[in-house]
Amino acid sequence: MSTRFSTDAVLAQFEKIELVQQQRARLQDTQITLSHGSGGKATHNLIQALFADAFANPLLDQLDDGAVFDVNGARLAFTTDSYVVNPIFFAGGDIGELAVNGTVNDLAMCGATPLFLSAGFILEEGFSMDDLARIVRSMARAAERAGVKIVTGDTKVVHRNKADKIFINTAGVGVITRDVSLSASNARAGDKIILSGSIGDHGVTILAARGELELEGDFSSDTAPLNDLVETMLNVTTEIRCLKDPTRGGVATSLNEIAKAAGVTMAIDERAIPVRAEVRGACEILGIDPLYIANEGKLLAVVPSNCADEIVNAMRAHPLGRDARVIGQVWAEPKGLVFLQTQIGGNRVVDMLVGDPLPRIC
Amino acid sequence: MSTRFSTDAVLAQFEKIELVQQQRARLQDTQITLSHGSGGKATHNLIQALFADAFANPLLDQLDDGAVFDVNGARLAFTTDSYVVNPIFFAGGDIGELAVNGTVNDLAMCGATPLFLSAGFILEEGFSMDDLARIVRSMARAAERAGVKIVTGDTKVVHRNKADKIFINTAGVGVITRDVSLSASNARAGDKIILSGSIGDHGVTILAARGELELEGDFSSDTAPLNDLVETMLNVTTEIRCLKDPTRGGVATSLNEIAKAAGVTMAIDERAIPVRAEVRGACEILGIDPLYIANEGKLLAVVPSNCADEIVNAMRAHPLGRDARVIGQVWAEPKGLVFLQTQIGGNRVVDMLVGDPLPRIC
Contact indicator for A240, A258 with CB cutoff of 8 Å = no
Report the alpha-carbon distance of residue B92 to residue B289 in Å, rounded.
22
- Count of beta carbons in the 10 Å neighbourhood of residue A216: 8
Report the alpha-carbon distance of residue A264 to residue A283 in Å, rounded.
29
- Count of beta carbons in the 10 Å neighbourhood of residue B216: 8
Cross-chain CB nearest to A155 (options B36, B121, B154): B36
How many Å lie between the alpha carbon of A15 and the closest alpha carbon of chain B? 30
b/e burial code for range B9-43 (CB count within 10 A of at least 16 → b): ebeebbeeeeeeeeeeeebeeeebbbbbbbbbbbb
The 10s digit of each residue's pLDDT in A265-298 is 999 999 999 999 999 999 998 889 999 999 999 9
Report the alpha-carbon distance of residue B325 to residue B316 in Å, rounded.
9
Average pLDDT over residues B206-230: 89
How many Å lie between the alpha carbon of A185 and the closest alpha carbon of chain B? 17
The 10s digit of each residue's pLDDT in B219-272 is 999 999 999 999 999 999 999 999 999 999 999 999 999 999 999 999 999 999
Residues of A within 8 A of B121 (CB-CB) are 82
Distance of CA B166 to the CA centre of its chain: 22
Contact indicator for A339, A346 with CB cutoff of 8 Å = no
Tell me the pLDDT band of B63, cut-offs 50, 70 and 90: low
Cross-chain CB nearest to A118 (options B35, B69, B171): B171
Q: What is the ipTM of this complex?
A: 0.93
Q: Helix (H, G, I), strand (E, B), or coil: what is residue B338?
A: strand
User: What pLDDT, on the 0 to 100 scale, is given for residue B62?
Assistant: 66
CB atoms B156 and A37 under 8 Å: yes
B206 pLDDT higher than 80: yes
B22 pLDDT higher than 80: no
B-contacting residues in A 197-226 (Cβ below 8 Å): none
User: What pLDDT, on the 0 to 100 scale, is given for residue A27?
Assistant: 66
CB atoms A359 and B158 under 8 Å: yes
Tell me the pLDDT band of B20, cut-offs 50, 70 and 90: very low
> For chain A, which ranges sit under pLDDT 50?
1-7, 10, 14, 16-25
B61 pLDDT higher than 70: no
CB atoms A123 and B73 under 8 Å: no
For residue B221, give Cα distances in angstroms to A4, A204, B109, B359: 64, 46, 20, 16
CB atoms B32 and A122 under 8 Å: no
Report yes or no: A76 at the B interface, CB cutoff 8 Å.
yes
Cross-chain CB nearest to B152 (options A71, A79, A159): A79
Strand partners, A116: A149, A173
User: What pLDDT, on the 0 to 100 scale, is given for residue A3?
Assistant: 37
Q: Helix (H, G, I), strand (E, B), or coil: what is residue B317?
A: coil
Residues of B within 8 A of A147 (CB-CB) are none
B304 pLDDT higher than 70: yes
A19 versus B67: which is more confidently predicted?
B67
Quickly list DSSP for B126-175. Answer: T-BHHHHHHHHHHHHHHHHHHT-EEEEEEEEEE-TTSS-SEEEEEEEEEE
Q: What region does B358 belong to: left with phi over 0, alpha with psi -120 to 50, or beta?
A: beta
Closest CA to B301 of B357, B243, B260: B243
Cross-chain CB nearest to A74 (options B72, B80, B122): B72
Measured on CA atoms in the order A40, A45, A51, A56, is the torsion positive or negative?
positive
B86 versus B23: which is more confidently predicted?
B86
Closest CA to A274 of A329, A352, A196, A346: A196
CB atoms A34 and B159 under 8 Å: yes
Q: Helix (H, G, I), strand (E, B), or coil: what is residue B101?
A: helix
Report the alpha-carbon distance of residue B311 to residue B326 in Å, rounded.
10
Helical (H) or strand (E) element with A253 = helix A250-262
Helices in chain B by DSSP H: which ranges?
A: 7-22, 41-46, 52-54, 58-61, 95-109, 129-146, 201-209, 227-236, 250-262, 277-286, 308-316
User: What pLDDT, on the 0 to 100 scale, is given for residue A256?
Assistant: 97
Q: How many CB pairs under 8 A join A and B?
A: 289
The 10s digit of each residue's pLDDT in B92-114 is 999 999 999 999 999 999 999 99
b/e burial code for range B184-208 (CB count within 10 A of at least 16 → b): bbbbeeebbbbbbbbbbbbbbbbbb
Largest interatomic CA distance in chain A? 61
| A337: Cβ contacts below 8 Å, ≥ 6 apart | A13, A14, A17, A256, A259, A265, A266, A349
Contact indicator for B265, B333 with CB cutoff of 8 Å = yes
CB atoms A119 and B31 under 8 Å: no
B326 pLDDT higher than 90: yes
End-to-end CA distance of chain B: 34
B336 pLDDT higher than 70: yes
| A119: Cβ contacts below 8 Å, ≥ 6 apart | A99, A139, A150, A152, A153, A154, A168, A169, A170, B51, B55, B80
Contact indicator for A168, A99 with CB cutoff of 8 Å = yes
User: What pLDDT, on the 0 to 100 scale, is given for residue A7?
Assistant: 47
Cross-chain CB nearest to A153 (options B30, B80, B132): B80
B18 pLDDT higher than 50: no
How many Å lie between the alpha carbon of A305 and the closest alpha carbon of chain B? 31
Q: Helix (H, G, I), strand (E, B), or coil: what is residue A344?
A: coil
Cross-chain CB nearest to B32 (options A71, A132, A164): A132
Q: Map out the domains of chain B with their CATH numbers.
A: 8-26+183-349 (3.90.650.10), 64-175 (3.30.1330.10)
Cross-chain CB nearest to B151 (options A31, A43, A60): A60
CB atoms A151 and B51 under 8 Å: no
**Bridge pairing between strands B325-331 and B192-195:** antiparallel
For residue B250, give Cα distances in angstroms to A34, A97, A217, B99, B290: 37, 33, 53, 18, 8
Report the alpha-carbon distance of residue A230 to residue A295 in Å, rounded.
16
Q: Helix (H, G, I), strand (E, B), or coil: what is residue B268?
A: strand
CB atoms B157 and A33 under 8 Å: yes
Angle at B91 between CA B215 and CA B138, to 5 degrees: 165
CB atoms A84 and B175 under 8 Å: no
Cross-chain CB nearest to B71 (options A153, A169, A175): A175
Distance of CA B230 to the CA centre of its chain: 15
HSE-up of B1 (CA within 13 Å, CB side)? Answer: 26
Mean pLDDT of chain B: 91
Report yes or no: A144 at the B interface, CB cutoff 8 Å.
no
Q: Which amino acid is present at B34?
A: L
Q: What region does B190 belong to: left with phi over 0, alpha with psi -120 to 50, or beta?
A: left
CB atoms A55 and B159 under 8 Å: no
Tell me the pLDDT band of B330, cut-offs 50, 70 and 90: very high
For residue B252, give Cα distances in angstroms to B109, B291, B328, B340: 17, 5, 13, 10
User: What pLDDT, on the 0 to 100 scale, is given for residue B136?
Assistant: 97
Residues of A within 8 A of B43 (CB-CB) are 155
Closest CA to A184 of A79, A102, A65, A70: A65
CB atoms A125 and B34 under 8 Å: yes
Report yes or no: B78 at the A interface, CB cutoff 8 Å.
yes
Among B26, B30, B71, which would you mutate to test the A interface (most chain A Cβ atoms within 10 Å of its Cβ)? B71
User: What pLDDT, on the 0 to 100 scale, is given for residue B132?
Assistant: 97
Residues of A within 8 A of B115 (CB-CB) are 69, 71
A-contacting residues in B 164-203 (Cβ below 8 Å): 164, 167, 169, 171, 173, 175, 177
Contact indicator for B191, B241 with CB cutoff of 8 Å = yes
Residues of B within 8 A of A163 (CB-CB) are 162-164, 167
CB atoms B54 and A136 under 8 Å: yes
Question: For chain B, what percent of residues have pLDDT higher than 90?
Answer: 78
A16 versus B335: which is more confidently predicted?
B335
